[in-house]
Amino acid sequence: MPELAEVELGRTLLERVVVGRRITEVWCDDDDIVFDGVTPEAVRDALTGKRAIAAHRHGKHLWLELEAGPHPLFHFGMTGAFRLRGEAPLELESRIGIGDTTWPPRFAKIHLWLEDGGEIVMTNARRLGRIRLRASPPDEPPLADLGFDPLLALPSRAEFVRRAKRRKIPIKALLLDQGFAAGVGNWLADEILYQSKIDPRRIAASLDEDELARLRSVMRRVVKRAVAVGADKDRFPRSWLFHHRWGKQAGARTARGEPIEHLELGGRTTAWVPSVQR
């Protein structure tokens, strides 16, 4: 699933290709699941002829700020992405759509044409993504219900500790709670806990201040690094758990040779290293 770094890459694509340009034509798929609470026709009418003035992101959601509202709000779900003509998509672990060189690509849900001849498409193979219209996206659900964005607004040490100490759930479940840390998904949570040397099963409220401060510091470092390399997994440090966590493979080990185990927490598969995480 696209997490914070992958969605930030989507925001930068919007910024590079769409911002500062007028949208001259819009095609929308007839999909009453992906288009949430709004008809494809309403989205087309809201965007056509408008100039985009900024691209924003909070957690796993991103939106185009137009010269006049309403503004389109996007969520990629499990397999969503923005695609540009002639550019390969970011490769996700799901691999759905990888290698598709047709244009427009398969599973297209919205297609924008721009005044300079540019084009951008959002694809969504499993139909778990969403396209919405909002008058003021940050002030309305779902964005208004989200927690802090670790890249944009990481709380102070004291505030981070205070928020975590209130929660009597496993620390892995807390990291996945979008009302706590917007944008952290399964692989980011596992990576943060591995590098923090914290057992994912431990109750958040049981962690001491130093452990939570370490967790916060690692969260900032991991998120910044993933964003800095454009979510390109081949450029993640070789020491990261990320490279060895997939597939529940028997005998899997980290780059340091530490045995990896898998368990279910909150309905999600968790990869962790018992010899390191306490």
Euclidean distance between CA atoms 21 and 112, whole angstroms: 11
* CB distance 218 to 192 below 8 Å: yes
* CB distance 17 to 84 below 8 Å: yes
HSE-CB for 244 with a 13 A CA cutoff:
20
Euclidean distance between CA atoms 102 and 243, whole angstroms: 30
3-state secondary structure of 13: helix
Sign of CA dihedral 215, 216, 219, 225: negative
Alpha carbon of 158 to those of 146, 162, 243, 270: distances in Å? 20, 6, 32, 28
Helix (H) or strand (E) holding 270: strand 268-272
Q: Within a 10 A sphere around the Cβ of 209, how many other Cβ atoms?
A: 14
Catalytic amino acids? Answer: 2-3, 60
Look up residue 246 and give its DSSP letter: G
What residues form DSSP beta bridges with 120? 84, 112
Euclidean distance between CA atoms 33 and 165, whole angstroms: 37
